[in-house]
Amino acid sequence: MRRRMVLALVVVWLLGWSVPVGAFLVAPFPIERPDTQGDQLVFYYDARASFTSFLTLRNVMPGEVAVTVLFYGPAFDSPPFTHTVTLPAGGLRVLDVAELRASGLPAQAGAAFATGVNAVGTAVVTGALTGNFTIANLATGSAWGAPAAARSAVNADDSFPALGSVIDNEAVSLRPIRASGLELAAYYDPDDLAPTDLGGDQLIFVSFEDVTGVPLRAQVGSTDWNVFGARADGTMIADTEFTATGVVVTNLATVLGASAGGSSGSIRFTSFVAAPRETRLIFFAEALGTFGTGYLLPPVPTLL
């Protein structure tokens, strides 16, 4: 596994000599962990029949802000479902994703992007948005949630653009969220959790790339994760790989193998290669009876 990491870095270094330098300077430097407030919020949502999702949007600025929310499916292969709201100064709105199904949102799990827009509906810099989301699992009677992953836009020289500047991911770009290592510090024994087919344990991978130009759009991304799993006593149970393309909702046994059951444990995910505008996130959720918990995995230092 360590050899694969080193080889991947060598490939990137070699490619740097064969591709024009300007090709790497357009994309902004990524951040390892999301902001709490910014120009865009990234949510995970689940609009399938056995789940209910709520997205909360808040405007922290003194003036009202129009916000367009784009709901992408797991493969980012269809035009996103679009929903626009206006947030008053200091105000918030809660979107019931189940209600949006009646307006055409497919019954799917995916990623939603909320961005402030100007009078003609073009994404602009506002610095105004913060929020969170809650996912209720109707089959287990449990729920979990996390803050929205906020990110801000920067100019090509890494300076901050003026409020109202158009975000085109060329002159003004949203920073990708991309850590080299993410940590699931602890999970309960999967054998004690609600059944996997009811969502008793979920690993949720989100990988996408920002598209350049106007209107602001995202496309499918793909991440090759190195996966290191261990039991509570420190015994290694997995040294493997998992490729996540788009939004993937899976479980511990699928990622770690059949040996995941029988003990609580932990997982470290690492990845050292990415497209310049790729964002990658991993969420974890589990349900023990009606007790549910879930969160966005935090970044950790990585060493070769």
Judge whether residue 8 has pLDDT over 60.
no
For 40, the domain range is 31-296
The residue-averaged pLDDT of 72-86 equals 97
User: What pLDDT digit, counting tens, does each position of 122-134 carry?
Assistant: 999 999 999 999 9
pLDDT value of position 10: 37
Number of domains in the chain: 1
Position 11 in a domain? no
276 part of a folded domain:
yes
pLDDT at 206 exceeding the cut of 50: yes
220-236 residue pLDDT tens: 999 999 999 999 999 99
In this model, does residue 163 exceed pLDDT 50?
A: yes
- Residue closest to 133 by CA, chosen among 251, 298, 284, 295: 295
Q: What is the mean pLDDT of residues 143-153?
A: 97
pTM of the model: 0.91
CB burial string 244-254: b at 16+ within 10 A, e below:
bbbbbbebbee
Structural domain includes residue 209: yes
267-286 average pLDDT score = 97
Q: Is residue 17 a part of any domain in this protein?
A: no
Q: Which two tokens stand for residue 288?
A: 């023990």
Q: Please give the helix or strand (H or E) that residue 24 lies within, else none.
A: helix 22-25
pLDDT of residue 22: 36
CA end-to-end distance (rounded Å), the chain: 10
pLDDT score, position 26: 75
| pLDDT of residue 15 exceeding 70 | no
The backbone torsions φ and ψ at residue 65, rounded to the nearest 5 degrees and listed phi first, read -135, 130
- pLDDT for 13 beyond 50: no
Average the pLDDT over 181-208 and give the result. Answer: 97
Q: Where are the beta strands (DSSP E) in the chain?
A: 40-46, 51-59, 65-72, 81-87, 92-96, 109-117, 129-137, 142-147, 149-151, 153-155, 172-174, 181-187, 201-211, 217-220, 222-231, 236-245, 247-250, 265-270, 278-288, 291-296
d(CA 303, CA 10): 15
- Type of residue found at 57: L
Ramachandran angles phi, psi of 142, nearest 5°:
-115, 170
Place 304 in a pLDDT band, splitting at 50, 70 and 90: low
- pLDDT cut 70: percent of the chain above it: 91
Percent of the chain with pLDDT over 90: 89
| Averaged pLDDT, 76-105 | 97
DSSP designation for 38:
B
Residue pLDDT, tens place only, 248-262: 999 999 999 989 999
Residue 136 within a domain = yes
Whether residue 14 is contained in a domain is answered as no
CA distance 220 to 176: 14
267 SS3 class:
strand
> Tens digits of per-residue pLDDT, 22-62?
334 479 999 999 999 999 999 999 999 999 999 999 999 99
Alpha carbon distance 283, 159 (integer Å): 31
For the segment 54-80, the average pLDDT, to the nearest whole number, is: 97
**Alpha-carbon span 193 to 240, nearest angstrom:** 24
CA distance 288 to 291: 5
Question: Is 21 among the domain residues?
Answer: no
Asked if the structure places residue 3 within a domain, the reply is: no
Pick from 9-18, 221-230, 250-259, 273-282: least confident:
9-18
* Residue among 59, 35, 72 at smallest CA distance from 216: 72
Q: Which amino acid is at 6?
A: V
